[in-house]
Amino acid sequence: MTKIVIVGGVAGGASAACRARRLDETAEIIVFERGSYVSYANCGLPYYVGGSISERSKLAVQTPQSLRSRFNIDVRIETEVVGIDAKAHEVEALDHATGKTYRESYDKLLLSPGAGPVRPPLSGIDLPNVLTVRSIPDVDRICAAATHRQGQRAVVVGGGFIGVEMAENLVDRGLSVELVEMSDHIIKSLDADMAVDLHRELRANGVTLHLEEGLEGIEQRVDSLAVSTNKGRLIACDMVILAIGVRPETKLALASGITCGPRGHIVVDDQMRTNLSDIYAVGDAVQVTDFVGGTATAIPLAGPANRQGRLAAHNMLGGSDTYTGTQGSSIVKVFGLAAASTGLTEESARAQGIDVDKTYLTQPHHATYYPGAKTMGLKVLWEKGTGKLLGAQAIGSEGVDKRIDVIATAIRFGADVRDLVSLELCYAPPFNSAKDPVNIAGFVAQNVLDGTLSQFFPEDVAGLPRDGSVTLIDVRTPGEHARGRIDGFANIPVDEIRARLDEIPTDKPVYLHCKSGQRSYIACRILTGLGYSCYNLAGGYDRWSAIYA
C-alpha cells in the first residue's frame, strides 16, 4: 500500500488527491491544509464580492467531509506542514487548533503550497482595510469593509487578472474605484496595443485608471485612508485592495533542500519531481517551461495546476506521464468585454529574441446579416520566415474564447500560422461566418509570408514622411474620412482607385488604410497589379485610433 502525503489543497493538491484515489483504492492519502478550506474556487472570489455568486457556500468545491465520504481521503485542515525530513520520509505537522506538532511518514510527498499575494514593505501596508484576495476569509473581510455605505471609495493596486476583476466587482457592489498600475497597460498577457480596449471599457464604467504609476505608501486618516503614488498623487479612499502579484510559497521547500529557481519557484522535471527522492511539486509554486518559447517561467493559472496535480498523482503511483509546458491560455471579463490570449505576446517574443511578425483583424463573431453580430479585435503572432504560430490575443463581447481556444489548440500541436487557413470550423449564421476569423488570420499571414501582402503597423504611422516622398491614401468613404482621419492621408475611396490613378505617382511607395484593413488590402492588390509598391495598415484606422487617437 502506497502512502501519499499532500501539502496544500485547492487546485493542484486536491486534484492530485482525487486522481490518486481513482487510480488506487488501497492507497493511504493524507492532505494537510493550513487554512480552513481545502478546495475552493479562488477564481470565483471577486465575483462573490460583486454579487454574481450570491451564495458563499458555492465557493467551496469540496469539503473535508465530502473528500472523506466519496474518496476516502484524510483531510487535515488548519494543520501546517512546518518541516520535511527527506531522508526519513517524514513531515512535521503543526495542528493550529491544539498548538501541537507531530510527525507523519510518507512514501510519496506532493507539495502544492500555491502562491501568496505580494505585500511590499511600504508604510501603511498592514493598516486595517488594506486587503488582499486569496482565500474565502479574505473576501469575507472585503465584504465586511464594503458595507454599501453611499460614497465608499476603493483603490485597487495592480492591473492583473485579480486587480481588474476586483475593480469591476467593487463597482458592481456600488463603490467608486481607482486602479493604480505601474505598467503602461493592464493585463500583462496582452500587448499594450490590445489592452487599450480594456482601458476604454474600464473608464466607460467609472473606473479611474492611473497607469505608469506605482504605490508609494498608505496613510491612516481620521475616518479614511490615503494612498500615495510615485507621481505625487494622493488618493483618498475607504479601502485598498492589493493585487500587485503573487509570490510562491516555497519557504518550506527551501528549508528542506529542494532546489528553487531564481524567482523562488520550485524546480521540477517533466514528471513534476523535485531534486529530492519521492518528493513532487505542482501548481503556482513551481517553475514551468514556456511551451512556445522553451524558457523557464512561472504561470500561476488554475488549469495548469489541475493538470499538473493529475499527472503527478499518476507518477507517484508508478506512472511516467510528462508535462510538456504551459502556454498561458487565459481569459478575463472586463464589464461588457472579454479579453483572451494564448502563447507569447509580441513583447515577450521580442524579449526572447524571436523575430516576430503579426497582424490585426476586426471581425464579427458571426455572420453580419444575422441579427446581433458583435465585433471582436484579434491579434495573431508568428515567427518571421518559418511561420511558426507564436500566440494570439482577442477582445470583444462575444466569441472571443472560441477563437483563442482554437488557436491555443493549434499552437499545442505545433501549427504553422498558415495551417489556420485549413481549419474546418463550425458554420451557421447564428454562430459564425463561412470564413471564421481564425481562417482569415491564416489568409493574412499566408499573404504576408508568400509576399502577396506587405504590411505596416500603427506604431509606424507617425514616422511616415509627409514631404511627398511617399503617397498616403485613406480608401474609406468620404463620410468616414470626415469623421476621423490620420494626418497626411488623402481620401480616395477604394471603388474610385482605378479611375483616379493619375493622382497616385507610380514611382513612390504607397501606404494605404481603411477602417479595418480589408478594403485597403483590395486597393493594394489593384495597385500592385498595376506595378505600384504598396503597404497596407494592419488593423486599419480602428486599431490605430484605439491606440493613438
267 has which bridge partners? Answer: 287
Dist CA 186 CA 254 (whole Å): 32
Tell which residue, 13, 14, 256, 23, has the closest CA to residue 2: 23
Residue 260 is given by DSSP the state B
396 has which bridge partners? Answer: 338, 376
Number of neighbours of residue 113 by Cβ within 10 angstroms: 25
Helix (H) or strand (E) holding 377: strand 375-383
Residue 255 — φ and ψ, nearest 5°?
Answer: -65, -20
**Residue 237 known to be catalytic:** no
Which strand ranges, in their side-by-side order, compose the sheet holding 455-456?
A: 455-456, 534-537, 510-513, 471-474, 490-491
Tell which residue, 332, 173, 195, 330, has the closest CA to residue 241: 173
Considering 43, 143, 260, 426, which one is annotated as catalytic? 43
Q: What is the CA radius of gyration of the chain?
A: 27
Backbone CA torsion sign across 492, 497, 500, 503: positive
Based on DSSP, count helices (H) and strands (E) in the chain, helices before strands. Answer: 14, 33
Distances (CA, A) of 524 to 484, 493, 529, 539: 22, 12, 8, 15
Dist CA 354 CA 357 (whole Å): 9
Please list the active-site residues. 43
